Structure formats: structure tokens, C-alpha cells
Amino acid sequence: MIFYLMGGSAGAFVLIIIAYVILSKKMQKSEYKKIQELQQGTKENKFSAEILFQKLYLTYLKMPIIKRYLLKVRRRLEIVNVDDEYNTRKGTAKILTKALVILLPLFLITIWMTSSNYLLMFILIIFEVFMIDVLIDGSVDKMDDKILKEQIEFFSEIRHAYHEYNMVEEAIYQVSQDDEMSVSRQGEKIYEILISEDPETELEKYYDIAPNSFLKEFAGVSYLTKEFGDRKVDKASLYLKNVNNITQEMQLEILKRDKLNYVFQSLSVISIAPVLLLEPLKNWAVHNFSFVASWYQGKPGMIVQILIMILTFASYILVRKLKDNGSTGMNIKNTENPWQAKLYKKKIVKKIVDLFLPRVGTKEYRKVQQYLKDAASHLKMEWVYINRITMAIVTCIASVILFAQLHVVAVDYIYTEPTTDYNIMGELSEKDEKKAMQVTEEDNKVLDQFRGKLKTEKKEIERAVRRLKYYEEADDAEIKKVVERIEGKLQIINSEYLQWFEILLAFVFSVIAYMAPIWLLIFQVKMRQLEMEDEVMQFQTIILMLMRIERVNVEIILEWLERYSNIFKAPITRCVNNYEAGAWEALEAMKEEVSYMQFIRIIESMQAAVEKIPIVDAFDELDSERDYYQEKRKESNERLIKRKGMIGKVIGFAPMVCMFVGYLIVPLVFIGLTSMSTAFSNMTAMK
């Protein structure tokens, strides 16, 4: 039976080989060979970067913490890469990989350098996790700046194509197909909107996802021109004049962003540097001036260290907010489900948060709501108060833990400090340090006996000292000196416990933390107010584009201003909502609500256009003084950049100045003078 099975298997194997040879010969002569030849050179290499980033995207998607950042980047890139899933995944994985490549080595270096200081290690690691957001935002902002610069060339080609086809949609389609730029995908999207059955609805959808306001303006002007037709103004196409106006606005914006990036490119590093330099600076000071070791390694040094870290963290956030140029990230609606929303769905949390929420209609509610609007924040009222409560609780707990840790540090330093007189310069020799540590160990034996006993007398300490073998041959004067030293150490140890005023300070810090989110909103509002003039000048450009288009009225102008407004969005929105009830009255109410004079003049011109004169006549000065407004816009941007740069330098250099003054100069000078005074006193006493 076995022989039969073996023979059958061998025969089947021979038949399979014969069949394979016959099929191979036939396939070499068939179309299959031609298909294989056509495929050669078109297949992607197995280990190409394209495939690598696609695989990395899927890998990151499975990692719980990394997934959060992945989806955040993806949401922003989806706007730039319209309906292009492949490029969206590749770009997302590429940005996240760069961030991880930079931060992982930094993470390992931090652990290695701060292995002896766990508090510093913990704070630096938290800080580096926070920096992932910064790196990601910076990478996406670069893409946004790139697409903005591409729009200059794109609009230039649109002008030439429009001369050739004399049709808006055909010109956009032709340029979008010919170019391989990122902005070409936006052009294809605008073309699809213009030829759709309901372009007005599709256009409104596009306004919500456009990468920048200039593409919104271009899409809107293209739609109006297609809908109402083009016309000649001063022997030139109105559509091309409007495209030229948008191009000039983009050029000003590009210059502004480049200058802001130049001014702020080093401030971010300068604001972070103090945290990274604290440990090396401390080691240098202790190595060269041993008399400051007790300050740096004790409680005072740790307190100053923590204060500098907090100041650095706050300065870094403020510098980021100050530099913000309103790029892609500012135009995205917050579609994600943040942790605040998930937390608020819990019944217990909701009840607690509702206790702190101000009632609708109260002064406090209106004030916070106004801050959110003026700051253009995506946060909801409930989320703001969840942030406030969370920060207050975390700060209170962290403060109590920190105070307890400071007491531990102070006690630990007493037990580990080499017991010797101060040296003005340099370090102890190895022999002297060994002797000093032996004295410390002998002192510790006595300290362990009386630790926690608040009513210990000198006689008890003296008896304990005399029982030590180390002091068997010591005279009375030396014993007295030792007793006084141990008594001083014992008083410090017995006083190092959590006290009532430290609990009170923890509550004070938690109140400050509770107010911090509101203060941050106020800071954002103040920074946005610096850009009021820039926004009003953008309004003037929009009105200049619309005023000569037929069938455009004040209501359409208001809708456009609402779409592109940022600082004045709330009053314009209310005016649009109330417009049907009475145009002049709605404009008057908006005029009373704002205080910026240049915007009030625009409102007065719109009021004149509603009742008395045509829109072209109401805004005729915008056209006649176009060059003046352009120069004024440039000068306004210069002042804005200068002002932001000055504020940024003050905020950015504050941690560095505090580090050198508070952490290096003051301890060296103060403790040095104290040590010299003590030394001179001892010398005088000896005489």
C-alpha cells in the first residue's frame, strides 16, 4: 500500500511539472507576456517612501495616543488636499513622523540628563509632549504658506486663460488641469462648484472648508461674474481687476507672514531655553562656587526652579498666541469630540460644572460669551468652565504635593550635605569631602534619636554626642560647637512639615489657575484688537470688488463682510440677522456697538447707499484713493509687526532674564556676601 502511494505521488509530481512547462510556454506566447512587459516600470518599489508613509499612517492609527495627533493633522490636511485620500494620508504620516523623529531623541536625552532630578524630568517630559502640537502646527502652517504663495502664480495664469476663453469656469478648469500645484485641487473644486446644479449652496459649503480667505474671495467673485456677467471698467475687465485686487492682498499677507516668522523664529527657542539650561547652570555654579550648594540643592533653589519653569511655560504659550497668523488652523470648525465634551456627558461631572456655570442672561455669562466671540475661540461655555475647574483641582493637588516634596528635599539635604565650613571658591578635595561626610554621618546618628521630638534640650544632645566614639577625644569647646550645629540641624528637620499657610497658598494658586483660561482669552482679545485696522482695510478691498458688480446691494456686501470678518464678526452677524426688519436701523445698531472709527465710516457709507445714493457713489473714495489705502495698509502691517515683535521680545526674554538674575546672579552675590561676612566675623572672634 505504501509503495502504491509513493508511486502515485511521484507520478502526480511528474504530471504537475509537465503541465507547468506546457502552460509556461503558452503564456510566453500569449497576451499575458505583453501585459507583464507593460507593467514593468509602472510598479512602485516595495520599500518606497510613498508606501512607507501609507503603512505608517495605518500603524499610527492603531496607537491610542498617537491616533489623537494623527486625526488632528488629518483634519487640517483634508482642507488642503481636497478629496485626495492618498495625499492626505501621506502628508499626515510625514508630518507626524518628523515630529516623532525630533522628539524621541530629545525625550531620551531628557531622561539621561535629569535622572537625578525626577521633578525636572517629569516637567520636561510634559513640556516635550506639549511641543508635539507646536511642531505639528508649524508643519501645517508651512503647507498653508506654500499654498498661499502658489495662489500668486495660479491667479496670474487665470488672467491669461480668461483672455483666451473669456469664460470664468473654462479659465479655472484649464489652469487647474495644466498645473501640478497644491492649489490646483482647490481650482478643480471651485470649477465643480461653478458648473453644479446649485452653485450657491455648494459655494456656502466651500466657504466653511477653504484653506484661506483669499480663495473664498476668488470663488465668490468667480461665481458672481459667471452669474451676472463681466463688464468693462476703465477699459478693463472688472473680473480681472478683482482678481488683481485679491492678488495684491495676498502679496501683502505673504510679506506680513514672512516678517512675523522672521521676528518670532528665535523667540520660541529663547523662551524654551531656560528650562533646558537650569540643570547645566546649577551644576556649573555648584562646581565653581561650592558655598551655593546648600541654596541650589535645598528648598530655595527648587522653589526658584519651579517658578522659572512655570514662567517659561506661560511665556511660550503667549509667544505662540502672539505669532498666530490666522492660517489653516483658524479656519477649521471644531468637528472633533474633545475630552471636555466627553467629560460633560457624565452626570456627576455635569452637575458639578453646572454649579459653576453662570446663568444665561447674567452679566458674568454675557462677559465670558463676549470673550469667546472676540477671541474667535472654538470653545463652548461648558468647556471653558471644565478647563477652569480641572486646572484649579490639578493646581491645588500639585501644589500640596510640591510643598510636601520641598520639605522632603530640605530634610534630605540636611542628612546628605557634607558638614564643613563654606569655601569661597572651588570644590572640596576628595579627602576633605570624605571627612565632611563622616561628620555628617555622625550627626545623623544623633538626629535620628531626636527627630520629631520638639522639646529636645541641649543637655540631651550633648549626652548623645559624648556617647559617640568619633568624639571620645574631643574637648568641651569642640563638643559645644558640635551640639550647636546638631541643634540647628534638628530645628530645621523638626520644622519641615506641611503647615496651614501652605495649604492656604495651594488654594490661592488654584484660584489663579481657575482664572488662567479667562486671562488667556483676554490676552487673545487684546492681540486681535491690534489687527483691527488690517481687517477694516480688508473690508475696503472686498467692497471695492463688489461695488461695481451689477445687482450687488448693501445686504450682499454685509454677507460678504460677515464671511471674512474675524474681529467684527459678532456685530456684523447681528446686523445681517436684523437687516430684514429695517436696513437703516440694523446698520445704526451696529454703528453704536462698535467704536473703531474707520469701520464706523464704512457703516455710514452703507447707510447712505441704503437710502440715498448708489453703492458706487457711496464708496467712490475707495476707488479714487486705492493707492493711498495700499500704502497705508503696508505701513499698518509694519506697525503691527513692530508692535507684536516688541511685545514678543518682552515675553520671550522674560524667562531667560529671570533665570540669570534669580537663579544665578542673586544667589551668588547674596550668599557670597553672607559667607564673607561670616568668615570675617569668625576671623575677628579668633583675634
Encode pLDDT of 399-458 as tens digits.
Answer: 888 888 888 878 887 777 777 654 544 456 667 667 777 777 777 787 887 787 777 777
Show the cell assigned to 602: 464704512
Question: Rounded to an integer, what distance in angstroms lies between the CA atom of residue 334 and that of residue 348?
Answer: 25
Q: Are 118 and 184 in contact (CB under 8 A)?
A: no
Backbone dihedral angles phi then psi of residue 382, each to the nearest 5 degrees: -65, -40
Question: Do the strands 232-233 and 236-237 form a parallel or antiparallel pair, or are they unpaired?
Answer: antiparallel
Q: Are 44 and 51 in contact (CB under 8 A)?
A: yes
pLDDT of residue 520: 85
Does residue 316 form part of some domain? no
Question: Rounded to an integer, what distance in angstroms lies between the CA atom of residue 544 and that of residue 626?
Answer: 9
Does residue 188 form part of some domain? no
Q: Are 331 and 534 in contact (CB under 8 A)?
A: no
Give this prediction's pTM: 0.68
Domain count, the chain: 1
pLDDT of residue 475: 75
Report H helices in 583-625. 583-593, 597-611, 615-618, 620-624
Q: Exposed (0-12), middle (13-18) or buried (19+): which is 504, by Cβ within 10 Å?
A: exposed
pLDDT of residue 327: 40
Three-class secondary structure of residue 687 per DSSP: coil
Encode pLDDT of 84-127 as tens digits.
Answer: 677 788 888 888 888 888 878 878 887 887 777 676 677 677 77
Residue 675 has pLDDT above 70, yes or no: no
> Which pairs from 164-171 meet CB under 8 Å and 24+ separation?
168/194, 168/222, 168/225, 168/226, 168/230, 168/239, 169/194, 169/195, 169/222, 169/226
Query: How remote is the C-alpha of 219 from its chain's centroid?
Result: 30
pLDDT of residue 389: 92
Please calculate the CA angle 499-503-507 and round it to the nearest 5 degrees.
165
Report which secondary-structure segment, H or E, holds 513: helix 500-529
Q: Are 223 and 199 in contact (CB under 8 A)?
A: yes
Longest Cα separation, the chain:
118
Does residue 112 form part of some domain? no
Does residue 608 form part of some domain? no
Contacts of 318 (CB under 8 A, 6+ apart): 523, 651
> Which pairs from 596-601 meet CB under 8 Å and 24+ separation?
596/532, 596/536, 596/568, 598/533, 598/536, 599/532, 599/536, 599/539, 599/568
Encode pLDDT of 146-185 as tens digits.
Answer: 888 888 888 889 888 888 888 888 888 888 887 667 788 8
Does residue 561 form part of some domain? no
Does residue 342 form part of some domain? yes
Please calculate the CA angle 404-408-411 and round it to the nearest 5 degrees.
140
Residue 590 has pLDDT above 60, yes or no: yes
Beta bridge partners of residue 236, listed in sequence order? 233
Please calculate the CA angle 71-75-79 and round it to the nearest 5 degrees.
155
pLDDT of residue 424: 46
Does residue 363 form part of some domain? yes
- pLDDT band at residue 144, thresholds of 50, 70 and 90? confident
| DSSP designation for 657 | H
Domain that holds residue 492: 337-527
Residue 268 carries which side chain, given as an amino acid letter?
A: S
Cell 525625550: give the residue. 107
Question: Rounded to an integer, what distance in angstroms lies between the CA atom of residue 246 and that of residue 97?
Answer: 36
Does residue 127 form part of some domain? no
* DSSP one-letter string for 244-292: HHHHHHHHHHHHHHHHHHHHHTTHHHHHHHHHHHHHHHHHHHHHHBGGG
